[in-house]
Each structure stands twice: as C-alpha cells, then as structure tokens.
Amino acid sequence: SRRRISPQSLRGVQWPCGCDPAAAIRCLRRARGCGSRRAPCAWEERNARLRETLPVCDRIRLVASQPATLAAHEAIVGLGFEGTVLKRIGSAYRPGRHRTWIKQKARFNARAELRSVHQDRAGQRHALCELDGRRVHAVAGTAAWIGQLVELVYSRVDADGTLREARVARST
C-alpha cells in the first residue's frame, strides 16, 4: 500500500539542503491544481514547477530529458540504472502505472548450464543453473533442456551477485 505524504506528516522535518518539504508540497498544491488527479498538467509544466519549488541539493537531483535513442538508453544502463522510461514530453502526469509511459528495461545475456527445473504450486517453473561456478535461479519455460547450455536474460547484477529478473531464454 502506498503512503500519502501530506504537509502535516512532514511538519518540522528539514532536509540537509534547507528545503522545507511541507512548504514545497503546499506550494505545489497551490499551483492551480497542477498534477492533481482531477486536473493533470503536462509533464513540461509540472517539471518546471518542481524545479522552481524544490532546490537542488544532495537529496534532490535535476534530470534533463533527452530524445529516446538506443545510444541514450545504453548510456543510462551503463551508469547502473535498471532502464529508462519513455513518454511523450507533452503527456499529462498521472501517478501510478500507465500504458502511455513505456519502461525500457536493461537486458543482459549470459550462458549457463541448466541443472534442474521445478514447478511451484502456482504452476510457475523455476530453474537452477550454474554460471561460472555459482548457482543462479531463473524463471524457466521448459524442463526439456536439463544438462544443456542455455541463454539467461537478466536486467542487472545486484550487489550480492545475484541476477535480477533472470529467465531462461533458450537452449544454445
């Protein structure tokens, strides 16, 4: 469940940069209802109001928009981000998930040996693979390739070395 942040819940809180978050929320709400569920505003307008209201500091970063290109996506992924979000610059901001905003995740491949596959109570198949001498868990579509090299697809490597969102793509 999401927790709503209100000016009252932030009373007395100060960020290291000196910005009063409760005052920032009140200021944004007064800005003609921009960004409310009843009156969504264009992303450009909302972005401009946020930049005017919230000072840049070590807790708040300004992120510039850029055209959606494969090179830009790869550069962002190369910095360690999980991917990019694609949206039209004039689209209205609405909280939550929407089909008008597309998330382009990072995608990496590795070859591993499929050791075993088991099916859980919900019918989902899970694979245990060996990759460079370590065990890797992944979502599997079939158990037909046990003992063979398979291609794993994943979105990133976590700090502990596990592969994020790993799945068996195919036999190699």
pLDDT in tens, 60-91: 666 677 777 888 888 888 887 888 888 777 77
Picking from 161, 52, 169, the residue whose alpha carbon sits closest to that of residue 107 is 169
State the sign of the Cα–Cα–Cα–Cα dihedral 136, 142, 143, 144.
negative
Contact 83, 103 (CB under 8 A): yes
Rg (CA), the chain: 22
Cα separation, 115 vs 118, in Å, equals 10
- 149-167 core/surface letters (b: 16 or more CB in 10 A; e: else): ebebbbbbeeeeeebeebb
- pLDDT at residue number 1: 41
pTM, 2 dp: 0.56
Which regions of the chain are under pLDDT 70? 1-43, 53-63, 93-95
pLDDT (0 to 100) of residue 154 = 92
